[in-house]
């Protein structure tokens, strides 16, 4: 079956060279270069769009504000009458409340009381706030202790917020509460968003026991990976689909993977990536997928593999992660975020920040290492330590909790000393 599948896809010209034991940066470049299918789109009400990825550009259809508008409560006047504020005063012509549809016309040597958000009266060009004047005999005068106003003070000009034709939101923007506020201001009831990628999650291992299941044998491990990854998928804008625990049976794993690919856009597997007699995940993956790379020189997560499942014209990605929960979480963050970005038709790069070590780092491994750290800000700079991140157990992810970051230690690097500058990834900031 494997040879037939490979020959068929070679004839279609869609096979890629498989890479083994590559560097972190080589793996990222391959993820960027190898084509996969973009996700489809759907139309939804803007108020339901929190956490979704915008599937269209949002362009201003008109100027905002549409006309000169008061930004404070004050008095609208003509700046050429400024000297009268110091001498005989400006005559009060009336009030201009917010929401009044009339376009008032200001007369020379007069002022109109104009409230926040009101359209500036015709012929006026400046506003002086109420705290800067005093009223006497139906006129306003400048308070002696107040600095003289400048022309245009406290007036929002036409198009000051945005002008007609301005690009306000680009396709690929992750919608936060602030984008929803802007969409409300634009009166955009419906918007186009990328649909949530369906991500199939398959965890394997005879020792895995599902949450809530009664433990009947010793040395079992709770099913952490599938629930951890499902939550990470949701935070990245996808929909995680949990499948039963994969048995240590290659043919059954092949059948489960094949069904998951029919249901989903992406497949994640955890476990079964070592060279043990009962680790069949990579064999099953090779039987139905084209493996793009296998093994990356990183710690944790060295066994990670990336493959494509060809279904007609579609290319569905598979990311095979190690079974250790910390490794699964970190490698999915490092590589899954790139895959998600491609499906949302956006570019993505990991953002490193500079930080300083509060303690020494000893290294015994030549691989590029992502070491979980405590991250805090002191005197305006980031500092990292490892005091609460010492415990690494296969059944827990406690060292990823709290205010965690990932110190990135370059491949073939040496020991580092307290005070040295390092690069840190903000692990909990996803797309």
| Residue 409 and residue 324 share a domain | no
| Residue 248 and residue 172 share a domain | no
Domain that holds residue 176: 44-63+162-193
240: CB partners within 8 A, 6+ apart? 199, 201, 229, 230, 231, 233, 234
Q: Is residue 226 classed exposed, middle or buried when 0-12, 13-18 and 19+ CB atoms within 10 A define those classes?
A: buried
Separation CA 374–CA 387 (nearest Å): 7
End-to-end CA distance of the chain: 38
The number of domains in the chain is 4
| Residue 184 and residue 90 share a domain | no
Q: What is the CATH number of the domain that holds 417?
A: 2.40.340.10
Within a domain: residue 431?
no
Please tell me what DSSP assigns to residue 358.
Answer: S
Q: What is the CATH number of the domain that holds 80?
A: 2.170.190.11
| Residue 334 and residue 269 share a domain | yes
| Residue 382 and residue 287 share a domain | no
| Residue 84 and residue 73 share a domain | yes
SS3 content of the chain, % helix, strand, coil (to 5): 25, 30, 45
| pLDDT tens sequence for the chain (431 residues) | 333 334 334 433 445 678 999 999 999 999 999 999 989 999 999 999 999 999 999 999 999 999 999 999 999 999 999 999 999 999 999 999 998 888 899 999 999 999 999 999 999 999 999 999 999 999 999 999 999 999 999 999 999 999 999 999 999 999 999 999 999 999 999 999 999 999 999 998 767 777 777 777 677 777 889 999 999 999 999 999 999 988 888 999 999 999 999 999 999 999 876 655 446 888 899 999 999 999 999 999 999 999 999 988 889 999 999 988 889 999 999 999 999 999 999 888 888 999 999 999 999 999 999 999 988 999 999 999 987 665 544 445 667 777 678 999 999 999 999 999 999 998 766 54
Give the CA distances from residue 35 to residues 38, 166, 256, 307, 345, in Å, rounded to whole numbers and listed in that order.
9, 32, 25, 12, 11
Give the CA distances from residue 339 to residues 306, 335, 370, in Å, rounded to whole numbers and listed in that order.
11, 7, 19
Contact 203/270 with Cβ under 8 angstroms? yes
**Which of 313, 343, 373 is where one domain is finished?**
343
| Residue 215 and residue 296 share a domain | yes
Query: Which two three-digit tokens encode residue 321?
Result: 């992660």
Distance of CA 198 to the CA centre of its chain: 18
Q: What is the CATH number of the domain that holds 168?
A: 3.90.105.10
Within a domain: residue 430?
no
| Residue 206 and residue 141 share a domain | no
pTM above 0.85, yes or no: no
């Amino acid at each position: 079956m494997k040879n037939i599948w490979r020959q068929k896809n070679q004839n279609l010209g869609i096979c890629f060279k498989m890479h083994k034991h590559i560097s972190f940066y080589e793996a990222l470049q391959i993820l960027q270069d190898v084509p996969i299918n973009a996700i489809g789109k759907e139309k939804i009400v803007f108020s339901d769009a929190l956490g979704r990825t915008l599937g269209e550009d949002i362009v201003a259809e008109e100027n905002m504000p549409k006309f000169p508008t008061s930004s404070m409560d004050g008095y609208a006047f003509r700046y050429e009458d400024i000297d009268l504020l110091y001498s005989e005063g400006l005559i009060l012509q009336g009030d201009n409340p917010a929401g009044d549809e009339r376009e008032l016309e200001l007369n020379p040597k007069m002022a109109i009381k104009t409230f926040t958000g009101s359209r500036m009266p015709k012929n006026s060009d400046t506003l002086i706030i109420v705290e800067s004047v005093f009223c006497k005999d139906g006129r306003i005068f400048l308070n002696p202790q107040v600095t003289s106003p400048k022309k245009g003070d406290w007036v929002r000009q036409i198009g000051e917020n945005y002008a007609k034709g301005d690009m306000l939101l680009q396709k690929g923007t992750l919608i936060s509460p602030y984008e929803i506020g802007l969409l409300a201001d634009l009166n955009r009831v419906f918007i186009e968003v990328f649909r949530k990628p369906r991500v199939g999650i398959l965890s394997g291992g005879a020792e895995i026991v599902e949450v809530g299941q009664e433990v009947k044998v010793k040395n079992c491990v709770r099913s952490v990976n599938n629930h951890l990854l499902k939550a990470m998928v949701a935070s990245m804008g996808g929909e995680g689909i949990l499948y039963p625990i994969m048995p240590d049976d290659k043919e059954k794993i092949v059948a489960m993977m094949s069904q998951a690919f029919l249901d989903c856009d992406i497949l994640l597997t955890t476990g079964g990536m070592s060279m043990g007699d009962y680790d069949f995940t990579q064999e099953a993956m090779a039987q139905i997928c084209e493996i793009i790379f296998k093994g990356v020189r990183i710690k944790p997560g060295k066994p990670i593999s990336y493959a494509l499942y060809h279904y007609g014209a579609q290319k569905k990605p598979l990311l095979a992660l190690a079974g250790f929960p910390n490794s699964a979480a970190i490698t999915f963050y490092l590589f899954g975020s790139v895959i998600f970005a491609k499906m949302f038709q956006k570019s993505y790069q990991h953002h490193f920040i500079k930080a300083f070590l509060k303690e020494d780092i000893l290294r015994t491994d030549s691989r590029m290492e992502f070491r979980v750290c405590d991250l805090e800000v002191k005197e305006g700079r980031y500092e990292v330590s490892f005091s609460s991140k010492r415990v690494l157990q296969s059944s827990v992810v406690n060292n990823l909790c709290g205010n965690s970051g990932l110190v990135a230690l370059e491949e073939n690097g040496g020991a580092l000393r307290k005070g040295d500058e390092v690069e840190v990834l903000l692990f909990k900031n996803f797309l």
